[in-house]
């Protein structure tokens, strides 16, 4: 069983990274193998809405998203972690999420070829905002939860936290515990 962590912040060692690390530690404790993808180190272009994927489930853009797509298919659960940038997710995370189009047909249903692996797959989210009001990240939660609801994925929930300076989240034991628990839940059948 593998739990895949998708890191959406370019700040390695920053708050999203630390929280995702705790989530994956929780998943490990529950017996999962874990892997992390740092989106900022990948080449992921924006979706072009060319609709070529609608027929075959193969994206026309040839970049690193193909290898990430395979990891998503093989994962038991996926946990995303992103800071708030201008009231939404980072550009890296948005480019990645838009490329999920490859999984769907023209009616936004899973491609037949992906349905057995994607339906019911577990998906969770961690957000960090510089603002003290964690609801600054509501649009990100809306985006991921709506994707999960539309496609009948298994929504694990969101850990929403606030921290501004790099690594400051280490002082927030409650947020670290919540992230750990999210990972544990992701890996507990």
Ligand X SMILES: Cc1cc2nc3c(=O)[nH]c(=O)nc-3n(C[C@H](O)[C@H](O)[C@H](O)COP(=O)(O)O)c2cc1C
Q: Is residue 26 a contact point for ligand X (CB under 6 A)?
A: no
Q: Is residue 130 a contact point for ligand X (CB under 6 A)?
A: yes
Between 87 and 108, CB nearer to ligand X: 87
Do 162 and 131 touch, CB atoms closer than 8 A? yes
Q: Which of residues 64-93 bind ligand X (CB under 6 A)?
A: 83-87
Dihedral sign (CA 162, 164, 166, 170)? negative
Token pair 């070529």: residue: 52
**DSSP 8-state symbol, 75:** -
Q: Which of 163, 176, 182, 187 binds ligand X (CB under 6 A)?
A: 163
Both structure tokens of 86: 């201008």
Q: Is residue 166 a contact point for ligand X (CB under 6 A)?
A: yes
Distance CA 148, CA 140 (A): 12
Do 120 and 153 touch, CB atoms closer than 8 A? yes
Q: Which of 24, 39, 129, 148 binds ligand X (CB under 6 A)?
A: 129
Q: Which stretch binds ligand X (CB under 6 A): 21-29, 31-39, 143-151, 161-169?
A: 161-169
Q: Is residue 2 a contact point for ligand X (CB under 6 A)?
A: no
Q: Is residue 136 a contact point for ligand X (CB under 6 A)?
A: yes
Output the smallest distance, CB 32 to ligand X, in A: 23
**DSSP 8-state symbol, 85:** B
């Amino acid at each position: 069983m593998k739990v895949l962590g998708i890191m959406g912040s370019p700040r390695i060692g920053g708050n999203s990274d630390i929280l995702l690390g705790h989530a994956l530690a929780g998943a490990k404790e529950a017996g999962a193998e874990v892997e992390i993808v740092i989106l900022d180190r990948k080449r992921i272009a924006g979706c072009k809405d060319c609709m070529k994927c609608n027929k075959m489930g193969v994206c026309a853009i040839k970049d690193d998203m193909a290898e990430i797509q395979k990891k998503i298919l093989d994962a038991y659960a996926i946990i995303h972690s992103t800071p708030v940038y201008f009231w939404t997710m980072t550009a890296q995370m948005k480019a990645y999420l838009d490329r999920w189009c490859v999984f769907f047909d023209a009616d936004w249903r899973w491609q037949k070829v992906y349905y057995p692996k994607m339906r019911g797959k577990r998906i969770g989210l961690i957000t960090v905002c510089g603002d003290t009001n964690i609801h600054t990240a509501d649009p990100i939660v809306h985006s991921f939860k709506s994707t999960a609801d539309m496609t009948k994925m298994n929504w694990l929930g969101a850990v929403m936290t606030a921290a501004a300076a790099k690594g400051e989240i280490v002082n927030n034991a409650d947020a670290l515990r919540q992230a750990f628990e999210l990972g544990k839940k992701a890996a507990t059948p």
